[in-house]
A and B are shown apart, each in its own frame.
Chain A
Amino acid sequence: MPRLGERLSAEPDSYESAVERLESIIDRLDSGQAGLRETLELCREGRELVTYCVAELDAVGEGLKELRLDELAARLEEAPAEAG
């Protein structure tokens, strides 16, 4: 977990880590203790996290997709045969 005010070097590991980080950012901003530079940096990082979280929600937001395990297994078995 990056320190407050530290730039994110990479995308968050998961939705929960992104949300956890976002909450700590909001708490820090709400405390009113962050200086201007830190505030702007936190806002930028926060917006990136919001974008990431929205993308994660969008990924599961297009309606339930139902697959059958036996069909997946059959597809898996066919694939090597086709490749061969």
Chain B
Amino acid sequence: MDLPGPFPVGRYARKLEEEMRRRARVSLIGEMTGFSRSRTQAYFELRDSEGAIPCSIWLNELEKLEVPESGLRDGAELVIGGGPDYYRGSAHASPSFSFRATHLRLAGEGDLLARLEALRKQLRSEGLFELQKQLPRPLLPRTIGVVTAESGAARRDLVAGLERRGWGGSVVWGFAPVQDRRAAPAVTAAIQDLAARPEIEAIVVTRGGGSLADLWAFCDETLCRTVAMLRVPVIAAVGHERDSTLIDDVAAVSCSTPTHAAEAAVPLDCNSARAGLQRCAASLSRAGEGAVGSRSRHLVALSRGPARAIQRERVALNQKTREMRAAGERRITEQTDFQRRIAAVVLQRAAGRAAGPEMRSRREGLRRAEVALRAHQPERTLERGYALAESGDGEPVTSAAAAAAAGRVKLRFSDGRVDAEIGGEIERGT
């Protein structure tokens, strides 16, 4: 042991006392517990979740501060001012350490809010606000747990809210005091006990409104850390809308009223859900029947298809026949008209030709033929001195034999006829 000393303990104790009393004076905030009085002093401990300090105050100083007696009780939130003190004791008296308070007052709303903010910052930095929010919440739990005061409007409002949603599952009540800081351990225990039951699918923690001091249990660090670590979703509905406790931050859901908490604990409105399921069932029936019905109608239509196709073709064929017949008749008429027109044109052209130079040439030919013909007429020959022998009935006698046989003939001259008798022998040659 290579240390300085050994020093006489009394001297060391005095030095320690001097050092303690030289330390800076500060103010502390915490929860009072174990308040007691001696003849001259009052003693208590000031605590929070991280630690505690024994405190003392001279009675005469306490009286001057006029702190209401009702505030000096376990669980009261206090702000004290002072510094550390060490009584070194003596050969016959025991030493002691305490925070010697010279000022003491009950913590106000501002003190609590400041403390709450510090705690909120701490828990947020540890990620404890997110854990509950990541938990799945059942849409339709069968059993929920509720932590609240046994007698209170919150309980009644919650039940009414659940019933309004048509929900008739099981509620396990974890009744606990919900007033001020002292309630925190009981609330924490109730939450833990509910969470330990496997059938419980969500936990509601609720109470009505109040001052921050009234709601302080729900800002308790241990309670909030417990809630954050649970695997069952916690729905917090503490105080009114304007109240913001720490459990609101760590819970899965924070609600402004017990009625809203009922909606969060059972998100499904059972009445609407039943109506919705009926609609779904009807929709499914329609879809099934519709699918079969439409297809069977389609099949029936298809089965009628060939007959309809034949009928369609027959109608088309009849139509074509009619059209062909009409077209034939039309063609014949057109052809006839055409032929007529052609004939008319040909005749017209022939008439034209007849009326033209060709006609004149033919007329000339005719005239010449007429002249030639006229030259060959018997009258012309008779005029030149020839006579024509004719029988009695006017037929020409063209041979000597015929004349001899006839005996009598008429001789025709150009200027008339005379009878002649045939006699003598026939002289041959000219």
* Residues of A bordering B, CB below 8 Å: 14-16, 19, 22, 25-26, 29-30, 34, 36, 39-40, 42-43, 46-47, 50, 53-54, 56-57, 59-70, 72-73
Contact = CB atoms under 8 A, between A and B. Distances in A.
B141 to A, nearest CB: 8
Interface string B270-307: 10011001001101110110011001000000000000
B167 A36 contact: no
30 contacts: A14-B138, A19-B139, A26-B284, A29-B283, A29-B287, A30-B287, A36-B291, A39-B288, A46-B284, A47-B281, A50-B284, A53-B277, A56-B140, A57-B270, A57-B274, A57-B277, A60-B140, A60-B142, A60-B169, A61-B168, A64-B162, A64-B163, A65-B168, A65-B170, A65-B171, A67-B172, A68-B173, A69-B145, A69-B174, A72-B197
Contacts of A26: 280, 283-284
B194 interface: yes
Contact of A22 (B174, B270, B280): B280
A39 to B, nearest CB: 4
B142 A39 contact: no
B323 interface: no
B287 A43 contact: yes
Contact of B277 (A54, A65, A72): A54
A39 B291 contact: yes
A16 to B, nearest CB: 4
Nearest to B173: A68
Interface of B: 138-140, 142, 145, 159, 162-163, 166-175, 190, 193-194, 197, 268, 270, 273-274, 277, 280-281, 283-285, 287-288, 291-292, 295
Contacts of A39: 287-288, 291
* Chain A, interface SS category: helix
Given A26-B283, A53-B277, A57-B274, A64 B168 contact: yes
Contact of A15 (B139, B190, B283, B292): B139
